[in-house]
């Protein structure tokens, strides 16, 4: 393949030209112990070494900064200090990754999408990690043994592991919210099923709960999410037992939009829209939908993240006296089930690989293993003791100045904590800044386990990727356009014709290819 050849020749050229690589470590583990003496039990190298890291994520949300105190602290503990080599000016992570690869100079640590890393790893750019982890990284090994889905989701098609991933928390993400103050005003109870939900939204529309004499209430609104701006709006389909994307039925991969329930759901959602129960501008309202709808005392109900949505009660209390926007249980759907379509996925699509020229791979993996120790985990989640948090009764408690910031995670990121580099996320820290409303909502959803089973993150071979990326774009475009026409009443819902078109666009191959990728990890 052309890319392989290009890659290999670049690699050879740079090896010959320089005789060394930019990613080379400046010391080896055989150095005499006396030179880098330290009491730390986490030493990855006997002598202080510097390793390079290419960390560019979220199109510039995260770019490694040598000044991050979290990694200065990690250097103290491990004797490994990191030097960032990703361009701070770039706002395109994929491009930054590709430029680094094309340069032929692979740093010691490289962050990226697992599929990209796995492809270049098979060409020799990155080291195999299974043996290194087994022999030198007991904390990573323990986590992978406890959660086999982490390895399964990250291995390349040759069944080898090349990335150490960030492991996110499990638990609640988004939930249903409703204006409790409006319910009280109208003498209504929280809706317990889809029919009651319809009746409540209808009452919000008809009975002037904002008491201005105008029929201006917008019962259901929704803010689009940048990750998947359109699909999120169709989360309501779960109220009719449908799915909006790939899902698992036992071990069978299925695609929600071709199911009969999806057509039924669309018919109902179109009806709700026609009756004014859904924001007429739901497709264009934008990211500030919550602030607009609640701040102007117009919106009645939504689905969104617990923390930021609950916080609006406090933020908007002067604008809308009595505002009480609270989480409620997902209404029972037409099949008698309460379904919350979202939850947190501990398995990510990205991770950190070790460059093939790394002189001391043992030090590199030991360094990453430190990030998975209790102490490393606290450092990566909470920052540096005395700077961002204090230990109270043995537990890290964030300092007031951190808790007072508008976004605690963003504040912590200024110190290098709460990134998506390899470590295990600790959702516990959120309890220090979530308000009571959010905590109650999260607990209700977790205790009752309303969450729909997550579709696993699959690793794809290059050939699978070809089928999937091309087809997925076509399917998504067609679905989004059609569904929008249906909901807005431009076209009547014709699910049969819709399925026929999806088949023409290759939905069967799309499902089959995902099934093959799923079968690889489920055996
Ligand atoms: Ca009104």
Answer yes or no: are the C-beta atoms of 179 and 191 closer than 8 Å: no
pLDDT digits (tens, 9 = 90+) for 489-523: 999 999 999 999 999 999 999 999 999 999 988 76
Q: How does residue 63 score in pLDDT terms, banded at 50, 70 and 90?
A: very high
Rounded to whole angstroms, the Cα distance separating 253 from 246 reads 7
| Least trusted range by pLDDT, from 47-61, 68-82, 455-469 | 455-469
Q: How does residue 26 score in pLDDT terms, banded at 50, 70 and 90?
A: very low
Buried b (16+ CB within 10 A) or exposed e, 296-305: ebbbbbbbbb
Rounded to whole angstroms, the Cα distance separating 197 from 98 reads 49
Query: What separation in Å is there between the alpha carbon of 321 and the centre of ligand 1?
Result: 15
Q: How does residue 233 score in pLDDT terms, banded at 50, 70 and 90?
A: low
Task: Quickly tell me which residue has 């090349």 as its tokens.
Answer: 162
CA atoms within 13 A on the CB side of 117: 32
pLDDT digits (tens, 9 = 90+) for 383-405: 999 999 999 999 999 999 999 88
Mean pLDDT of the chain: 90
pLDDT at residue 38, rounded to an integer: 62
Q: What is the mean pLDDT of residues 171-176?
A: 93
The answer, yes or no, to whether residue 7 has pLDDT greater than 60, is no
More confident residue, 468 or 85: 85
Query: What separation in Å is there between the alpha carbon of 191 and the centre of ligand 1?
Result: 21
Contacts of 466 (CB under 8 A, 6+ apart): none
Pairing of strands 80-84, 389-392: unpaired
Q: How does residue 230 score in pLDDT terms, banded at 50, 70 and 90?
A: low
pLDDT at residue 349, rounded to an integer: 84
Query: What separation in Å is there between the alpha carbon of 291 and the centre of ligand 1?
Result: 18
pLDDT at residue 8, rounded to an integer: 46
Q: Which residues surround ligand 1, an ion (CB under 5 A)?
A: 208, 210, 212, 214, 216
What is the percent of the chain with per-residue pLDDT over 90, rounded to a whole number? 74
Query: What separation in Å is there between the alpha carbon of 216 and the centre of ligand 1?
Result: 5
Q: What is the mean pLDDT of residues 9-20?
A: 40
Query: What separation in Å is there between the alpha carbon of 206 and the centre of ligand 1?
Result: 8
More confident residue, 143 or 467: 143
Pairing of strands 325-328, 299-305: unpaired
More confident residue, 4 or 296: 296
Answer yes or no: are the C-beta atoms of 154 and 458 closer than 8 Å: no
How far is C-alpha 212 from the geometric centre of its chain's CA atoms?
A: 41
Rounded to whole angstroms, the Cα distance separating 78 from 50 reads 11
Contacts of 137 (CB under 8 A, 6+ apart): 365, 366, 368, 369, 372
Task: Quickly tell me which residue has 């508008």 as its tokens.
Answer: 406
Query: What separation in Å is there between the alpha carbon of 218 and the centre of ligand 1?
Result: 9
Query: What separation in Å is there between the alpha carbon of 299 and the centre of ligand 1?
Result: 10
Rounded to whole angstroms, the Cα distance separating 450 from 178 reads 17
pLDDT digits (tens, 9 = 90+) for 283-305: 888 889 999 999 999 999 999 99
pLDDT at residue 81, rounded to an integer: 98
User: Crossing angle for the helix pair 69-78 and 374-382, nearest 10 degrees?
Assistant: 160
């Amino acid at each position: 393949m052309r890319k392989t050849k290009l890659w290999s020749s670049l690699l050879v050229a740079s090896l010959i030209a320089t005789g060394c690589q930019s990613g080379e470590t400046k010391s080896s583990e055989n150095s005499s112990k006396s030179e880098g003496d330290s009491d730390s039990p986490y030493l990855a190298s006997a002598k202080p070494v510097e390793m390079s890291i290419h960390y560019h994520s979220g199109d510039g949300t995260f770019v490694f900064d040598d000044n991050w105190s979290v990694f200065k602290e990690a250097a103290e503990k491990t004797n490994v200090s990191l030097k960032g080599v990703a361009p701070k000016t770039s706002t395109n992570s994929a491009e930054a990754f590709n430029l680094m690869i094309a340069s032929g100079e692979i740093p010691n640590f490289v962050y990226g999408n697992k599929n990209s890393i796995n492809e270049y790893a098979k060409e020799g750019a990155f080291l195999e990690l299974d043996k290194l982890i087994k022999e030198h990284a007991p904390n990573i090994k323990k986590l992978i043994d406890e959660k086999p889905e982490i390895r399964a989701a990250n291995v390349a098609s040759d069944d080898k592991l090349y990335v150490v991933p960030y492991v996110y928390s499990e638990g609640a993400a988004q939930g249903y919210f409703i204006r409790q103050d409006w319910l009280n005003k109208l003498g209504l109870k929280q809706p317990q099923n889809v029919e009651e939900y319809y009746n409540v939204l209808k009452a919000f529309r008809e009975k002037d709960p904002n008491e201005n004499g105008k029929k201006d209430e917008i019962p259901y609104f929704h803010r689009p999410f940048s990750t998947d701006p359109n699909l999120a709006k169709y989360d309501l389909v779960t109220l009719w037992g449908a799915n909006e994307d790939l899902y698992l039925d036992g071990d069978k991969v299925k695609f929600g939009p071709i199911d009969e329930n999806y057509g039924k759901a669309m018919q109902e959602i179109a009806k709700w829209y026609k009756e004014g129960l859904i924001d007429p501008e739901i497709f264009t309202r934008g990211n500030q939908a919550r602030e607009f709808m609640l701040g102007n005392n117009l919106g009645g109900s939504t689905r969104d993240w617990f923390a930021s949505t609950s916080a609006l009660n406090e933020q908007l209390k002067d604008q809308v006296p009595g505002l009480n926007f609270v989480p409620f249980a997902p209404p029972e759907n037409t099949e008698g089930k309460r379904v919350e379509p979202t939850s947190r996925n501990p398995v990510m699509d990205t991770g950190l690989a070790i460059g093939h020229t790394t002189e001391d791979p043992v030090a590199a993996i030991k360094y990453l293993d430190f990030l998975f120790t209790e102490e490393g985990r606290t450092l990566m989640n909470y920052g540096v003791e005395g700077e961002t948090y204090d230990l109270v009764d043995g537990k890290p408690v964030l300092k007031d100045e951190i808790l007072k910031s508008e976004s605690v995670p963003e504040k912590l990121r200024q110190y290098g904590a709460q990134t998506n580099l390899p470590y295990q996320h600790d959702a516990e820290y959120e309890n220090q800044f979530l308000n009571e409303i959010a905590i109650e909502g999260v607990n209700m959803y977790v205790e009752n386990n309303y969450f729909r089973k997550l579709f696993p993150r699959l690793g794809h071979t290059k050939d699978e990727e070809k089928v999937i990326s091309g087809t997925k774009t076509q399917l998504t475009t067609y679905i989004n356009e059609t569904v929008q026409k249906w909901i807005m009443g431009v076209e009547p819902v014709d699910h049969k014709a819709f399925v026929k078109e999806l088949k023409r666009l290759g939905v069967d191959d799309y499902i089959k290819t995902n099934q093959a990728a799923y079968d690889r990890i489920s055996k």
